């Protein structure tokens, strides 16, 4: 089954798709689902999925603070270095200017890089291939940017994918004179996902935060938990993992004694970004029980980073992917260890 989303702006579109993933019903729900609550396509203990998504925004108006998704400028720079080849980008823009500078037919397409998988054998990233596949621009009948993705994690990395497309749209605008706000944006996604890693989304508004806390309470009662799982499996997943982090707090589990860096990152970000800069200090340290000695410190608060301030200048710096060991030693102070290696240092570059 295909899913079509139509929204006024890119900001609206991101919210609409994410809300469907969080609040959509289970595809095999036992409980009666109220009218209008459409299901997702797949559910697991860690995520929900919508397959064959076509998401359209009438205007590519997009402005978002990466801090709200617990992301950084350096993480955006890492993504564009991984996916965008500078030569391919320049060739694409030259084609756009030469062929589509005026109202002409045709679609100019730029394929992204083939991004290699990384990580250990048990939890490799991108094991099924690159997440972003291509981006295109056409001039008529309506100027349109189209992003093609194998998958995207809404509520988390999806914000970077959208921002990358918007930054490229700004480059197209310079070559064609078409304002970005006058461009339509279409996102074709084979598999749109929501994961517990997207927990920051639930703290972007008071309403979402309250629903998360209420869902966590529902987990304490089997009947209520079953209803929640049927009606809102994405919210169930968020509450389940949120409860896990709160239990680790109650059990005084130190950051360094957690077993997986992904979990530690979300727990540490929640402590700092939601509860305050000093809140997590009581869980600093490593007592020898876990594998994350290098991630045993509380995170520093993230600076604001509006998507409108970002560009492609990082493509011109020397690319040097950090090793797993380097990521671990730098993880106390950075999101993924890329800032120092890429020269993205200082408060303004985080």
Domain chopping of the chain, boundaries: 3-199, 205-295
* pLDDT given at position 127: 67
pLDDT of residue 1: 77
Average pLDDT for residues 56-72, to the nearest whole number?
98
Cβ count within 10 A of residue 36: 5
* Mean pLDDT confidence for 89-111: 94
- Whole-angstrom distance, CA of residue 239 vs CA of residue 254: 21
Mean pLDDT of 290-296: 89
pLDDT at 334 (0 to 100) = 36
Structure-token pair, residue 212: 């998360």
- Tell me the C-alpha distance between 337 and 326, whole Å: 7
Whose CA is closest to 37, among 46, 51, 48, 26?
26
| pLDDT tens string 23-52 | 999 999 876 777 677 899 999 999 999 999
How large is the greatest C-alpha to C-alpha distance in the chain, in angstroms?
A: 66
Quote the percentage of the chain above a pLDDT of 70: 86
N residues, the chain: 350
Q: How far apart are the first and last CA of the chain?
A: 40
Helix ranges (DSSP H) in the chain: 10-23, 73-83, 86-100, 157-176, 206-218, 222-231, 233-250, 261-269, 324-330, 338-342
CATH 3.30.572 for domain 3-199, yes or no, is yes
Tell me the whole-structure pTM to 2 decimals. Answer: 0.88
Nearest to 200 by CA among 272, 110, 134, 145: 272
Q: What pLDDT, in 10s, does the model give residues 132-167?
A: 999 999 999 999 999 999 999 999 999 999 999 999
Write the pLDDT tens digit of every residue in 294-339: 899 999 999 999 999 999 999 976 556 556 555 444 433 333 333 3
Q: Tell me: the pLDDT tens digits for 174-230?
A: 999 999 999 999 999 999 999 999 999 999 999 999 999 999 999 999 999 999 999
Contact call for residues 302 and 67 (beta carbons, < 8 A): yes
Q: How far apart are CA 19 and CA 37, in angstroms?
A: 11
């Amino acid at each position: 089954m295909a899913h079509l989303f139509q929204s006024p702006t890119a900001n609206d579109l991101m919210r609409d798709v994410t809300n469907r993933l969080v609040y959509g019903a289970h595809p095999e729900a036992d409980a009666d689902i109220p009218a209008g609550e459409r299901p997702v396509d797949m559910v697991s203990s860690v995520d929900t999925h919508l397959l064959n998504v076509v998401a359209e925004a009438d205007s590519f108006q997009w402005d978002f603070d990466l801090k709200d998704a617990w992301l950084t400028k350096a993480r955006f720079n890492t993504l564009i270095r991984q996916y965008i080849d500078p030569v391919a980008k320049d060739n694409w823009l030259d084609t756009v200017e030469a062929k589509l500078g005026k109202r002409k037919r045709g679609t100019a397409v730029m394929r992204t890089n083939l991004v290699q998988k990384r990580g250990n054998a048990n939890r490799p990233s991108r094991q099924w291939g690159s997440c972003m596949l291509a981006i295109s621009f056409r001039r008529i009948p309506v100027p349109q940017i189209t992003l093609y993705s194998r998958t995207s994690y809404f509520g988390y990395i999806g914000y970077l994918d959208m921002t990358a497309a918007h930054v490229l749209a700004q480059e197209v605008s310079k070559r064609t004179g078409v304002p970005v706000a006058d461009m339509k944006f279409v996102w074709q996604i084979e598999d749109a996902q929501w994961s517990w890693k997207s927990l920051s989304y639930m703290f972007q508004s008071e309403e979402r935060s309250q629903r998360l806390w209420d869902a966590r309470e529902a987990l304490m009662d089997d009947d209520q938990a079953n209803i929640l799982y049927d009606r809102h499996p994405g919210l169930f997943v968020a509450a389940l993992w949120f409860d896990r982090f709160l239990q680790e707090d109650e059990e005084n589990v130190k950051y360094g004694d957690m077993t997986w860096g992904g979990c530690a990152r979300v727990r540490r970000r929640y402590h700092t970004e939601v509860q305050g800069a000093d809140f997590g200090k009581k869980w600093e340290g490593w007592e020898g029980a876990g594998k994350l000695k290098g991630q045993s410190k509380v995170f520093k608060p993230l600076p604001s980073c509006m998507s409108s301030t970002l560009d492609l200048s990082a493509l011109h710096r020397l690319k040097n992917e950090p090793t797993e060991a380097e990521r671990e030693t730098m993880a106390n102070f950075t999101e993924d260890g890329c800032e120092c290696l890429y020269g993205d240092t200082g408060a303004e570059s985080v």
